[in-house]
Amino acid sequence: MAGLALTAAVSAGCRQDMHDAPRYDPLEASDLFANGSAARPLMAGTVARGHLNEDAYLHTGKDAAGLPVTAFPFAITRADLDRGQERFNVFCAPCHGKTGEGNGMVVQRGYRQAQSMHIDRLRLAPVGYFYDVISNGFGVMPDYRSQIPVEDRWRIVAYVRALQASRQGTTADLPADVLDQLRKGATAVPAAGATPAAGEIHR
């Protein structure tokens, strides 16, 4: 009997409004504010956590004059190139093709012809130009700023540069040991952590 009484007392203290806490749902109306909306605009200068983006070079791909930068904002490693290739194949290859020739599968299925990465204009374009196009779109190409994180955009640009270099390189560009392996018919394997020339990857 005492247990039943205790259960009844506890149940009486658990009112339904403790489960349905008063709150406003998104876009719900409110009489509290003059404009009738429960949602409040952000105060001027408010920045979401993790979105301060103080490094304009990294986040815009442009210099102080607003021109596309000519070098990467961080050193590009083999791991970065591998990541760039993987992201390129996911987001870019459907239109531009895995070799960057503009003949991706959606183009073969009737979508508008994508631009080849190997034309002179793009081979000579600064890396910041590619970053800006990925971030903001160009022509019929949509922007990918919400799908691709900042660092991954730069990694994709690095991989595009690798694709372009693959069409222009000669044996004179190869290290002596790699060239020797190729002449012997062996498969050259880049050293772990190998990077391009420092002058090409640093500001």
Q: DSSP of 20-56, one letter per residue?
A: S-----TT-B-SSSTTSBS--PPPTT---TT-----H
Which CATH number goes with the domain that contains 67? 1.10.760.10
Q: Would 148 be classed as within a structural domain?
A: yes
Structure tokens at 107: 């183009």
Which position has the higher pLDDT, 95 or 32?
Answer: 95
pLDDT at 196 over 60: no
Q: Would 67 be classed as within a structural domain?
A: yes
Q: Would 81 be classed as within a structural domain?
A: yes
Q: Would 73 be classed as within a structural domain?
A: yes
The dihedral region occupied by 50, where left means phi > 0, alpha psi between -120 and 50, and beta the remainder, is left
Give bridge partners of residue 37 from the DSSP assignment.
Answer: 29
Percentages helix, strand, coil for the chain (3-state, rounded to 5) are 45, 5, 55
Which position has the higher pLDDT, 127 or 200?
Answer: 127
| Predicted local confidence at residue 179, as pLDDT | 87
Q: Give the residue from 80, 167, 170, 84 showing the smallest Cα distance to 123.
A: 167
In which domain, by residue range, is 100 found?
56-170
Q: Would 154 be classed as within a structural domain?
A: yes
Instruction: Give the number of domains in the chain.
Output: 1
| Predicted local confidence at residue 79, as pLDDT | 98
Percentage of the residues of the chain whose pLDDT score is greater than 90:
54
Q: Would 48 be classed as within a structural domain?
A: no
Q: What is the pLDDT of residues 4-56, one digit of tens each?
A: 555 655 555 556 666 677 788 888 898 888 889 988 888 888 888 878 888 99
Q: Would 165 be classed as within a structural domain?
A: yes
Q: Would 68 be classed as within a structural domain?
A: yes
| Predicted local confidence at residue 82, as pLDDT | 98
Averaged confidence pLDDT in the chain? 85
Q: What is the pLDDT of residues 42-90, one digit of tens each?
A: 888 888 887 888 899 999 999 999 999 999 999 999 999 999 999 999 9
